[in-house]
Structure 1
């Protein structure tokens, strides 16, 4: 989505009359449903004056089109400035410019494409501007089918208009040469150089170019499980963006350190790329000849990855040594592994084994077993009474082992069509966080359906595209023992509607072609993602002048709330508090599995009407 779009002549007029920042702010409010922070408004005031000087060069055609604040599909990232048209060969072309207010920076030679600069009053590590510009263009090319179809020539660059380049400056150090070659960097005094760079690729105006970029068909993003084999062969399948790249490079640096035990805690909500990062780390650390494993409590993602790697002709023994369950370290020797990467760490348990009778504490055992432990955590995705892998629990055992603790947070968002506002809306509507904004960006396809049949029809239709759409439900229906391998026996019955839970033999439910005819629960989909998800909200969540949770409506076969009835007899208030958190977190997780859209049916009609009103309100 492009926020501001005008021909060069109109852009120059808007800047000359000091209208540009107000126009951008108004469009951000109208199209992105966002308020503009004062520092962002000031950056437009500053940067657009410099871009005015660049763009008034007569070598850049008056008919060239300008785009400001283009939001990259399937993400919450925005490109600062685009100049588009045709090159001398008549090819559609666009120059993508990353604008920076920086005045100084330091190189970080130990990490690829990382620099240190002052942001928001603190000296922090971040990505080099050339890497950022290049990675944004890579993302556009990955997502936008029309950019590829029309062979649009996207040329990235960075413009640090406040930065005075010194002799032997760190900004252009040879350690950044690879990315500077891909995306040249311009600094204060480079007005003419940047104008010439733009005019080299933009010789003639063509409004179709921005149309193709802005309205191009967005194909589903690369699926992690489909790319695993290629990644292990050394191919780059995913371009890490902004804070993802920073966290990735920091992880490699931490693993290399020869010192006492280390623990790296990486926070991130739904869609922030935790699993993409974890797998990228696994491959990179393997390439460092380190003894490393990918660990999850939930078997579903491991089984999906194992299946894909087996299809990729990897030996079973090799695969099994890469992907382990969280209960595999009860008897591990201290520092037996160089690195353990724990995805969905919030799902860790105390006891291990089929009968929960092995070990003491999975967090403790993992930290004990590895020289470096990397935990990916979302405290809002703890969905059973046994989930103990909170940030506080991890830090408790860090103190026990006197481990060096590192901590970072992922903010970039790639699920739910990159809509931060959808995730915030979920938190507000479910009353998980009432301070979260309930403004909603309708780029994400969310529908409140009047029947479960409607949800099923939508998912079946979407699944025809590429087998990446599934139905899920709250665990409010018993799992019929006799029907675990028979989809004709319907565990879930709502009026005339009937479907089975995912069959007992299907650990790869998320990718099995026929499993679109079954319904998954929290345990079979957490840690995975789909293009579209259909969610049936059961009777454990309803509306009555507020969101009400009711753990008594959960299925008898659900182990998520095991022990809660006993606690309820002893401490009613504490039991209800735990149940409320688990039920809300469960639906938060289910409602955020979809990359492209989410279709919802509520058993409770009052909740259904409430959600419809909240959508209309937005």
Structure 2
């Protein structure tokens, strides 16, 4: 709405505790998210938005358009307000992103100047409001080409309208920029001058419409970040808790890394560089915990990339064969003529497996980044381990803790998929503390997958019984598209159509069919449902013409011709995600249950207990159902289970005609996200 229209909605009414605008926002929030608005949000809408609206009206900017809770593309983060209008003199589009804070006092964490206590009383530090709006603006510039046409279009401010300068003095130490200025109650006159310098007294409808309808660049995937290893300013744009975690860790490294002979750089500590007598601190261990798409791998790769740019060598370890080999292949692919051998050696040194540290000397690695740490095994002993090195009683995590000066673990408590995978935050924390380490656990609460839909993540956990709630009907939120296919053939056709349009798309399935070796140079069609038959992805130890190696199934365009399993899909993401639910997950007696007899996973031998198998199978489907960036299509082999999915998921696939062309399979009844409609409609 325009400032003038909003002005009529921010007038208090005697019969209501909330402004008319706040009541509209409460209703809108419930309709979009399916949950009641947080009291902090309600208070912000009721108390903070009127400050900005009044400032616009006082400046005669009645026609400036105000957008509220503006989603950042592909995430669940949002800018509180974006003001849209025309620049004075030129009449070009002008935007001001505003982050509103009601705080009256603030203090800065002495260990990390971008982590601040805003007085919420929950003991959790938040990202500095200036850095928060700076990152939001940079993120918008990254994914909205419309804003990159003129870099002066967008400005950002953090407005602490209840705070006096003296009570938040520490916040002013952070450098400001065009994408992030700080204003308080003492600065409201300066804030008004910003408004009049950015906006003319003219309609902002055109600018607002252009921003709302702007094309969104596709989300950078994990492999895209890895390919940008050597690019300054490349990688993913970390936000909120991700950025706090990244900054906290890098600052710790600056203080603890030994003097290298350089006077500048990420790790130089002038206070301790020449003090050999300074006693060493306890080893600090970082555990970053978050759900699918919360940015764990983004933080891991950004840390790895940043250390490389600074001339430091950090090791990135994983328990995933596909992930590790993909990262190695990407690095080897950057080799110039005559450098392949050296690049291959470097790739094997920089990207390693969890079980490769058994004989690593203590503290011989400066920084060890353990991604996918939920795949940590009980021990590193395997069938090829030499007898003299076998130690079934030594935890694998102990080897990693011992090998590094700064160990960093990134994990999801609901993604361990094999019986001997034990990596949870509690397990690693206890083990590290028992080893004399100090531990910091950081929760990553955002999401960069499923269109930034937190509702979808919660829905999947409820469906699989991974929290206390029962399965619920999916309520479309305009972010994630979720549909049921009538048959595997229909799913495949829909997924292939999306790939032909330029999207990344794959089909995965539960491990409910045998996985055969290739028949000569041909894959065996093991996955069969009625007359429909398709092969699994290639086994790790084999290669087949015209099909990618198993490690590259998620990233090689030829992977669409095979059905992926959880071991090749984990860690990766693609725009469109087809999931076939096998007979190991059944709907019976009002709930989803696990039938271990339907599984062909060789990890589930008879000696593995039912509780462990059930946990692994539920977690496997949790992984499979959360790979999609834009949309997910599901099909269940068991009729009763499929009928229950039809009840829980209103979205279906339909056949439509476009301008006399051949009919196409399209999503129906799923409230497609706006970005999908603009790109493919």
TM-score for both structures, normalised by structure 2: 0.83
Aligned-residue RMSD, C-alpha: 2.4
What's the counterpart of residue 526 of structure 2? 491
1:213 to 211, 214, 218: 211
More helix by share: 1
- Pairs within 5 Å for 1:555-570: 555=600, 558-561=601-604, 563=605, 565-567=606-608
Residue 238 in structure 1 maps to residue 236 in structure 2 = yes
Aligned partners of 1:54 and 1:192 also within 8 Å: no
In 2, the alpha carbon distance for the partners of 1:194 and 1:265 equals 40
- Pairs within 5 Å for 1:187-586: 187-203=184-200, 204-255=202-253, 256-257=255-256, 258-287=280-309, 289-313=311-335, 315-352=343-380, 355=383, 357=385, 358-359=390-391, 360-435=394-469, 438=472, 440=475, 441-466=477-502, 468-483=504-519, 486-487=522-523, 489-504=524-539, 505=543, 506=549, 507-545=551-589, 546-555=591-600, 558-561=601-604, 563=605, 565-567=606-608, 575-586=609-620
Bigger mean CA offset, 136-145 vs 545-554: 136-145
What's the counterpart of residue 10 of structure 2? 15
> Per-residue deviation at 1:406?
1.2
Any idea what SS the aligned residue of 1:423 has?
A: helix
Aligned partners of 2:104 and 2:168 also within 8 Å: no
> Deviations for 1:337-381, whole angstroms, at most 9, x for unmatched residues?
112111111111134366264453311111111122111121111
What's the counterpart of residue 143 of structure 2? 143
Any idea what SS the aligned residue of 1:566 has?
A: coil
In 1, the alpha carbon distance for the partners of 2:249 and 2:498 equals 37
In 2, the alpha carbon distance for the partners of 1:228 and 1:271 equals 16
> Per-residue deviation at 1:121?
0.7
Aligned partners of 1:63 and 1:205 also within 8 Å: yes
TM-score for both structures, normalised by structure 1: 0.91
What's the counterpart of residue 29 of structure 1? 30
> Per-residue deviation at 1:225?
1.3
Aligned partners of 1:602 and 1:608 also within 8 Å: yes
What's the counterpart of residue 97 of structure 1? 98
> Per-residue deviation at 1:264?
1.1
Cα 1:285–1:151, aligned 2, differ >3 Å: closer, same or farther? closer
Cα 1:392–1:123, aligned 2, differ >3 Å: closer, same or farther? closer
Stretches of structure 2 that go unaligned for 5 or more consecutive residues are 13-18, 257-279, 337-342, 544-548, 652-669, 671-681
Cα 1:466–1:363, aligned 2, differ >3 Å: closer, same or farther? farther
Structure 1: 4+ residue segments shifted above 6 A = 149-152
Bigger mean CA offset, 305-314 vs 467-476: 305-314
> Per-residue deviation at 1:278?
0.4
Aligned partners of 1:53 and 1:191 also within 8 Å: no
Any idea what SS the aligned residue of 1:196 has?
A: helix
Aligned partners of 1:294 and 1:342 also within 8 Å: yes
- Pairs within 5 Å for 1:16-165: 16-17=11-12, 18-60=19-61, 62-88=62-88, 89-108=90-109, 111=112, 114-122=114-122, 124-148=124-148, 153-165=153-165
Any idea what SS the aligned residue of 1:9 has?
A: helix
In 1, the alpha carbon distance for the partners of 2:116 and 2:168 equals 16
> Per-residue deviation at 1:576?
2.2
Aligned partners of 2:417 and 2:617 also within 8 Å: yes
Aligned partners of 2:222 and 2:572 also within 8 Å: no
Any idea what SS the aligned residue of 2:186 has?
A: coil
Bigger mean CA offset, 223-232 vs 186-195: 223-232
Aligned partners of 2:378 and 2:395 also within 8 Å: yes
Aligned partners of 1:445 and 1:596 also within 8 Å: yes
> Deviations for 1:498-545, whole angstroms, at most 9, x for unmatched residues?
111111330211111211111111100111111111111111011112
> Deviations for 1:282-312, whole angstroms, at most 9, x for unmatched residues?
1233455544200001111122222222222
> Per-residue deviation at 1:73?
2.3
Aligned partners of 1:522 and 1:590 also within 8 Å: yes
Residue 596 in structure 1 maps to residue 630 in structure 2 = yes
Aligned partners of 1:445 and 1:597 also within 8 Å: yes
> Per-residue deviation at 1:436?
7.6
In 2, the alpha carbon distance for the partners of 1:436 and 1:45 equals 34
- Pairs within 5 Å for 1:172-183: 172-173=172-173, 176-177=174-175, 179-183=176-180
In 1, the alpha carbon distance for the partners of 2:642 and 2:573 equals 24
> Per-residue deviation at 1:613?
1.2
> Per-residue deviation at 1:238?
2.1
Any idea what SS the aligned residue of 1:169 has?
A: helix
In 2, the alpha carbon distance for the partners of 1:502 and 1:416 equals 24
